[in-house]
Structure 1
């Protein structure tokens, strides 16, 4: 039993469900409020759950200024470790406050205030963390767009968020390749109907950007001339940020996060799940473009008074597969959180973990994995390589923090390969059948959460409550539909088996295959198409396309494939990892016309496959299997029909 609490997991979990107001009132006491909440749990005028109504706080204050007032001003708050630029910089809480306060001053002089939106399109540099905190400091709502996204995707988000200001940088770095960001931003603004008042561009020495004379400002010059500003008191229910995630319609969903519930939930998670204490070093090896970066690079560790690591690099080739071990040793990392993809890449290049032996990683107490399902082979390899608990846990952009985990700060329990362990306190997880009936142990169904959702979860979508209700609450009244399928075993362990919609997970990126189908289908030679996610040893999943040509069209297949790959790369970005588009005579369909995407995926993955009795022509499956085998895609050679 750990010192965070004297209650067992089962006692804490039961109380969080039967008396949520008392439970979450206790957790709120860990946050510095300007004014205490008047209501712990309530509903707004639209009937949506709200936490801590009437409370006043500022998330930047809780993450930075408060710790200075508590005597932590000279403690290191942020470590910037960039093997791609051979740079390490450290910022104390005092220095972090000064950087953030001046950047907030720049935003205020540009007319940004409470309730205005700011889009952030930046690489993993300290200024990116400053940007989030500066927005939070003055009550502006930030929306970070992952730096790997193409102009089209950035433009969609600009038009939806309608930012007053965009914060960006001259370039990012992928391995040794310098990626110019400014041309991508310029093209996005050319495509978008909404135009910001100003763009603030952080000039990096390896590539300086040409600035638009009337629109763009030099970041460094503007910050140097700015006056620092104080934190602005905000309502607990005021939005902190918007983070876009793929939707099944192709239009991204703007996940909204509030200030109060978010701060309380993250502080609770650092104590109860990650078991990390103020002053310890917490490293989330992720990107600020993902929810992990928001929650566990910037806000969570700082709210807890930890030292956080901001890493610009990759797990391999920067310079080698020992980089993660080097960072742990050099900075004394206590807790590491990353995606299984990272360690699959490390294992591929260093299968015997010989580079691990070069470093002293005795500071490490836990290794957490999330972002995609941790396959048992990766888990078992890590358990042999790392002498600490290796903990798979599960959550989503929508939840903002873990929903299923081994709560190390309450009561560590035995690990089961393939399971993310037990539901986290506050999340009433249920497995439901097609008709909404609760299922028993080991029965696979829809993974749902009984309402109300705990603090930190999305209260709604950005300016689209009807879509929020339709996407998450309409399928099973009284429940939030996670979009994943899974089951709970006889010991209460939760197993997440994958999405039940068309969203796939490519190395932690949630991407819509439906959106990709629209793009592939836009090619003049394509009559119809299907894009499905297949298993990928390194990335978890990757998309492949099957296309049917229009009548009378003859196409050079390699040339067509290259064109379709280029379309996806230009419209979504390299992160999609779309590499194959195969021409077939027909797509497998039911007699009613539904494309059998699940069956295609099962063939590609070599899984046992039940061919639906309603299929219009079973022979087409043999053609697809032969096509996949001819191109050495997936594991079609293992295909078995049952």
Structure 2
């Protein structure tokens, strides 16, 4: 399979073409039919209100409860004894199956405890948890009472958590006493204490789920509690009455999920209830070929958008069984970890990041671990989070003997913009392409002036408004930034920030970011925030961080620092100190390890550092050097270092 693969036949395209055309030209007809997948308190009479574009409202007069649709209705339909969650934790040696009946009991009880603590519809709750069932219970409990949840990845350091606490202003933080890695434990309580010390906002309550591996211990009190009441999870829910689902408007916010911004300040992407539920329920069969009762596994984290959409909401909305995995693709215990989970639990399809596939390939290049397991029930491997490179895709398809499908989407979109729709209309795979635009997302390629370009011509990937249901409805408390960041570049379009092209078959090829947000193993990180952490060091005068290509993680941040006048530093010592600063301020997820001491950074006359030009040189491309460069000699001196030829 290659980019020259046969074009899809008319028969292969028929269902897709019909669905796509209706989804953008007859939104009421298409999306009201899709809305029948959801049980409404008040069914919507129209699909979308675009009168205040780009602040569009999906199913504007509809009323529903997302938690009811994800849990209660499966119990009400007589399927309460079906597995809702399979928790598989090789790092603790634990496997647990939670039925829909059991999930309903746990969710409604926590929801009742939150209400008893004063949490009401519209209040925010920050969830800072590892990959344990209580994380899903917490998310659904918030959805049940109309509280807006904001999940923060447990790997983020205290300063990053503090920023999110100040922006969301949660009434409650739900957490655990720590996360567990293959070789270490990560205590969460000290991170939260530090975050509350740094933040201006203080929640009323911090609820801590105790894990046996951490052995309990006293919770913060007095000055250490930072003004919040700290309580153990078991005590918090003890005696709580089960909460009933709140009636919510379709447009009411469901959650806030923060994504990196080029300024270093995260953007709080807001998802609604109705559009989100419809889009995700529609996607499970049409995009992924998964139905009620199937076992589905998304090997992501609940802190990321893939975890929100495809660990928690989408599989439960349709009554599938979702696998919650607390482990790694390799090392827990070996490179056969994924294949063991698939075989033991009868997984029909799974989602993972290209990074995970590359890690498995590095350890087991011949795919010998695959042969140890019965994968007869397994049908498809889906990938997202970053571009799936053709070499990795080919290896996985060859070793598995299954289709390996790339997806392209973003935190802002909530579900794929482009994919190979395995339920609706499977098409031939072209390596390097996530295939075609998903119905509802009218994808185009624009030049710098906003004009559509011909097939095969590279430009800016954009989506004609309105965005499909399930995409963001705005940024939390920041309408101006919502418009300026996404809608102002090209009038009438959402600018994805990615460059690429669409070929004559309609296949999308995503070539990379057009801004300074880098993608490290599927995690979008701002180079600005990494630079800010490095700039704290006493020896550093200036710094530029760029993302360079990496075989395993897609991109890695590399720092180029100019020392303060008169300062002499040992490169190895400085490298370690800067890595520690980034870990402290951003978290280990940044994977920052490489620093180069340089004499100067290339800039325009206005003082803008030419990061794009630096990145092009580092990636072996022909650089585009603007005419406004202040001193070309600085770039000439830096080029060998960027190429790895000299220090």
* Bin of the TM-score, shorter chain as denominator length: over 0.9
Aligned to 1:196: 203
Q: Structure 1 residues 288, 210: closer, same or farther in 2, change over 3 A?
A: same
Residue 8 of structure 1: CA displacement?
A: 1.1
Alpha-carbon distance between aligned partners in 1 of 2:417 and 2:25, rounded to the nearest angstrom: 17
Q: Give 3-state SS (helix, strand or coil) of 1:254's partner.
A: strand
Alignment check: 8 A CA contact 1:203 1:209 kept: no
Aligned to 2:5: none
Structure 1 residues without counterparts, runs of 5 or longer: 629-634
Q: Structure 1 residues 89, 601: closer, same or farther in 2, change over 3 A?
A: same
Aligned to 1:67: 74
Of 26, 29, 37, the residue aligned with 2:44 is 37
Residue 226 of structure 1: CA displacement?
A: 1.7
Which residues of 2 match residues 137-176 of structure 1 at below 5 A? Answer: 137-176=144-183
Q: Structure 1 residues 46, 23: closer, same or farther in 2, change over 3 A?
A: closer
Aligned to 1:476: 490
Aligned to 1:632: none
Q: Mean alpha-carbon deviation: is it higher for 297-306 or for 602-611?
A: 602-611
- Once the two structures are superposed, what CA deviation does each residue of 1:418-467 show, in whole Å capped at 9, x if it has no partner? 11100000000010011101111111111100001111011111111111
Residue 6 of structure 1: CA displacement?
A: 11
- Once the two structures are superposed, what CA deviation does each residue of 1:112-135 show, in whole Å capped at 9, x if it has no partner? 111100000000000000000000
Matched, 1:600 2:614: yes
Alignment check: 8 A CA contact 1:37 1:54 kept: yes
Of 362, 368, 372, the residue aligned with 2:376 is 362
Q: Structure 1 residues 212, 521: closer, same or farther in 2, change over 3 A?
A: closer
Alignment check: 8 A CA contact 2:604 2:610 kept: yes
Residue 7 of structure 1: CA displacement?
A: 5.9
Of 34, 51, 58, the residue aligned with 1:27 is 34
Q: Structure 1 residues 537, 71: closer, same or farther in 2, change over 3 A?
A: same
- Once the two structures are superposed, what CA deviation does each residue of 1:518-551 show, in whole Å capped at 9, x if it has no partner? 2223333222221100011111101011111222
Residue 237 of structure 1: CA displacement?
A: 0.5
Alignment check: 8 A CA contact 1:21 1:41 kept: yes
Q: Structure 1 residues 621, 105: closer, same or farther in 2, change over 3 A?
A: same
Aligned to 2:129: 122
Matched, 1:179 2:186: yes
Alignment check: 8 A CA contact 2:613 2:623 kept: yes
Q: Give 3-state SS (helix, strand or coil) of 2:412's partner.
A: coil
Aligned to 2:94: 87
- Once the two structures are superposed, what CA deviation does each residue of 1:29-65 show, in whole Å capped at 9, x if it has no partner? 1100011114321146676210011111000000000
Residue 553 of structure 1: CA displacement?
A: 2.5
Once superposed, what is the RMSD of the aligned Cα atoms? 1.8
Q: Mean alpha-carbon deviation: is it higher for 176-185 or for 595-604?
A: 595-604
Alpha-carbon distance between aligned partners in 2 of 1:123 and 1:116, rounded to the nearest angstrom: 23
Matched, 1:375 2:382: no
Aligned to 1:331: 345
Aligned to 1:631: none
Of 109, 113, 130, the residue aligned with 1:102 is 109
Aligned to 1:210: 218
Alignment check: 8 A CA contact 1:243 1:254 kept: yes
User: TM-score normalized by structure 2?
Assistant: 0.95
Aligned to 1:342: 356
Of 268, 292, 296, the residue aligned with 1:254 is 268
Q: Give 3-state SS (helix, strand or coil) of 1:206's partner.
A: helix
Matched, 1:442 2:456: yes
Residue 234 of structure 1: CA displacement?
A: 0.6
Alpha-carbon distance between aligned partners in 2 of 1:559 and 1:368, rounded to the nearest angstrom: 41
Which residues of 2 match residues 403-414 of structure 1 at below 5 A? Answer: 403-414=417-428
User: TM-score normalized by structure 1?
Assistant: 0.95
Q: Structure 1 residues 613, 180: closer, same or farther in 2, change over 3 A?
A: same
Aligned to 2:224: none
Of 238, 256, 266, the residue aligned with 1:224 is 238
Aligned to 1:560: 574
Alignment check: 8 A CA contact 2:54 2:487 kept: no
Alignment check: 8 A CA contact 1:606 1:637 kept: no
Alpha-carbon distance between aligned partners in 2 of 1:224 and 1:357, rounded to the nearest angstrom: 47
Q: Mean alpha-carbon deviation: is it higher for 304-313 or for 171-180?
A: 171-180
Matched, 1:53 2:60: yes
Matched, 1:545 2:559: yes
Structure 2 residues without counterparts, runs of 5 or longer: 1-7, 222-227
Alpha-carbon distance between aligned partners in 2 of 1:617 and 1:212, rounded to the nearest angstrom: 54
Q: Give 3-state SS (helix, strand or coil) of 2:556's partner.
A: strand
Alpha-carbon distance between aligned partners in 1 of 2:305 and 2:430, rounded to the nearest angstrom: 26
Aligned to 2:544: 530
Q: Give 3-state SS (helix, strand or coil) of 1:609's partner.
A: coil
Q: Kindly tell me the number of residue pairs found equivalent between the two proteins.
A: 629
Alpha-carbon distance between aligned partners in 2 of 1:555 and 1:581, rounded to the nearest angstrom: 12
Q: Give 3-state SS (helix, strand or coil) of 2:474's partner.
A: coil
Alpha-carbon distance between aligned partners in 2 of 1:179 and 1:296, rounded to the nearest angstrom: 25
Q: Give 3-state SS (helix, strand or coil) of 1:336's partner.
A: strand
Of 20, 28, 48, the residue aligned with 1:13 is 20
Q: Mean alpha-carbon deviation: is it higher for 608-617 or for 541-550?
A: 608-617
Residue 559 of structure 1: CA displacement?
A: 2.4
Q: Mean alpha-carbon deviation: is it higher for 502-511 or for 559-568?
A: 559-568
Alignment check: 8 A CA contact 1:404 1:420 kept: yes
Residue 15 of structure 1: CA displacement?
A: 1.0
Alpha-carbon distance between aligned partners in 2 of 1:70 and 1:45, rounded to the nearest angstrom: 39
- Once the two structures are superposed, what CA deviation does each residue of 1:552-585 show, in whole Å capped at 9, x if it has no partner? 3332332222222221111000100111221111
Q: Mean alpha-carbon deviation: is it higher for 561-570 or for 454-463?
A: 561-570
Q: Mean alpha-carbon deviation: is it higher for 614-623 or for 513-522?
A: 614-623
Of 401, 413, 416, the residue aligned with 1:402 is 416
Residue 625 of structure 1: CA displacement?
A: 4.1
Alignment check: 8 A CA contact 1:182 1:209 kept: no
Alignment check: 8 A CA contact 2:544 2:611 kept: yes
Alignment check: 8 A CA contact 2:119 2:171 kept: yes
Alpha-carbon distance between aligned partners in 1 of 2:135 and 2:580, rounded to the nearest angstrom: 29
Which residues of 2 match residues 592-631 of structure 1 at below 5 A? Answer: 592-612=606-626, 614-628=628-642
Residue 239 of structure 1: CA displacement?
A: 0.4
Alignment check: 8 A CA contact 2:54 2:466 kept: no
Q: Mean alpha-carbon deviation: is it higher for 535-544 or for 212-221?
A: 212-221
- Once the two structures are superposed, what CA deviation does each residue of 1:439-498 show, in whole Å capped at 9, x if it has no partner? 111111111000011110111111111110111111111000111111111211101111
Aligned to 2:3: none
Alpha-carbon distance between aligned partners in 2 of 1:124 and 1:274, rounded to the nearest angstrom: 23
Alpha-carbon distance between aligned partners in 1 of 2:166 and 2:112, rounded to the nearest angstrom: 25
Q: Give 3-state SS (helix, strand or coil) of 1:142's partner.
A: strand
Alpha-carbon distance between aligned partners in 1 of 2:503 and 2:49, rounded to the nearest angstrom: 33
Alpha-carbon distance between aligned partners in 2 of 1:414 and 1:38, rounded to the nearest angstrom: 37
